[in-house]
Amino acid sequence: MNPFWEHELVQTAAYYSVVILCGIVFLAIFELVTKYKNWDEIKKGNLAVAMATGGKIFGISNVFRYSIEQHNTLFEMIGWGLYGFTLLLLGYFIYEFLTPRFKIDEEIQNDNRAVGFISMVISIGLSYVIGAGIGI
């Protein structure tokens, strides 16, 4: 049975499935820490929320991309992905802290696209920095 689990197609399917599941869980966590409901706002056409959420999805996926590339087991990949997600979440709180003149969540909920865009770019940018650290 061991050769079955070592086959590239099986490993790819396993990584894919786990990343999808982790992505859903991590997006649910992001939903808990924001003051708005992502999918309700996106349904209303709120582009700022769509950009911020898209950045989070890209960031999470990119962290897992590096994690898959650099580690040999599914459990190592999950561990580094969880660590990377934690750093992305920390980056979200730092972004909020470093902008005391306005509240990020309120601006994004009000469809401030400039804030949504910066939020997206921060998530994407941090995911590359986090990913580079995963490979060390």
Q: Could you tell me which of 28, 44, 56 has the C-alpha nearest to residue 116?
A: 56
pLDDT over threshold 60, residue 1:
no
pLDDT at 4: 65
Residue spans per domain, the chain:
2-134
Distance CA 36, CA 14 (A): 33
pLDDT at 10: 84
State the average pLDDT over residues 9-28: 91
Q: pLDDT by residue (tens digit) across 81-129?
A: 999 999 999 999 999 899 988 899 999 999 999 999 999 999 999 999 9
Q: For the whole model, what pTM was predicted?
A: 0.88
- For residue 60, give every residue at least 6 positions away whose Cβ sits within 8 Å of its Cβ, in sequence order, or none: 22, 23, 26, 27, 81, 84, 85, 88, 127
